[in-house]
């Protein structure tokens, strides 16, 4: 347990949330691309059919252009959101890794402190035994 554990959990959740947001945005982009392909196919089919009929299709053409512009704008905005989310993910991941590094250093320092305390205790015991043995050798029998 380190003082960094809470911050680490928060940043891990943030990274997970950004991953989910990125997945949602990628799905949205995929859907928009499918809609654009379907729109283009419909446009080609309807133009082919309209050329055979003797009436004007200006209103329909304007509506189809507006729909295509809407799809293009939505795709552009989704791509922009995806770029921002990826930047956020990089930042959140970097922060999380920095906190993990600080937590690891904290644990290593704690382990080193414990090891030094154990070594000092062992040295003190050995020194006390040495002094007792030395005192016993100097005492006249």
pLDDT at 36 exceeding the cut of 80: yes
Closest CA to 12 of 139, 99, 87: 99
Please write the tens of the pLDDT for every residue from 46-55.
Answer: 887 777 776 6
pLDDT at 10 exceeding the cut of 70: yes
Q: Left, alpha or beta for 56 (phi > 0: left; psi -120 to 50: alpha)?
A: beta
User: What is the SS3 assignment for 12-55?
Assistant: HHHHHHHHHHHHHHHHHHHHHHHHHHHHHHHHHHHHHHHHHCCC
Contact 19, 89 (CB under 8 A): yes
CA distance to 69, 103, 110, per residue, from 2 (Å): 53, 6, 10
Please give the pLDDT value at position 141: 58
Q: Which residues contact 20 (CB under 8 A, 6 or more apart)?
A: none
CA gap 86, 21 in Å, rounded: 10
Give the domain ranges of the chain.
4-106
Band the pLDDT of 108: cuts 50, 70, 90.
Answer: very high
């Amino acid at each position: 347990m380190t003082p960094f554990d809470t911050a680490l959990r928060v940043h891990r959740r943030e990274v997970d949330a950004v991953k989910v947001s990125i997945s949602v945005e990628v799905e949205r982009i995929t859907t928009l691309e499918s809609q654009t392909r379907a729109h283009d196919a419909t446009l080609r089919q309807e133009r082919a059919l309209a050329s055979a009929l003797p009436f004007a299709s200006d209103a329909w053409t304007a509506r189809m252009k507006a729909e295509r512009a809407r799809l293009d704008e939505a795709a552009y905005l989704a791509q922009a959101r995806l770029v921002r989310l990826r930047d956020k993910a990089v930042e959140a991941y970097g922060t999380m890794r920095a906190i993990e590094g600080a937590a690891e250093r904290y644990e290593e320092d704690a382990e080193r402190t414990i090891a030094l305390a154990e070594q000092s205790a062992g040295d003190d015991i050995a020194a006390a035994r040495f002094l007792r043995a030395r005192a016993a050798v100097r005492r006249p029998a």
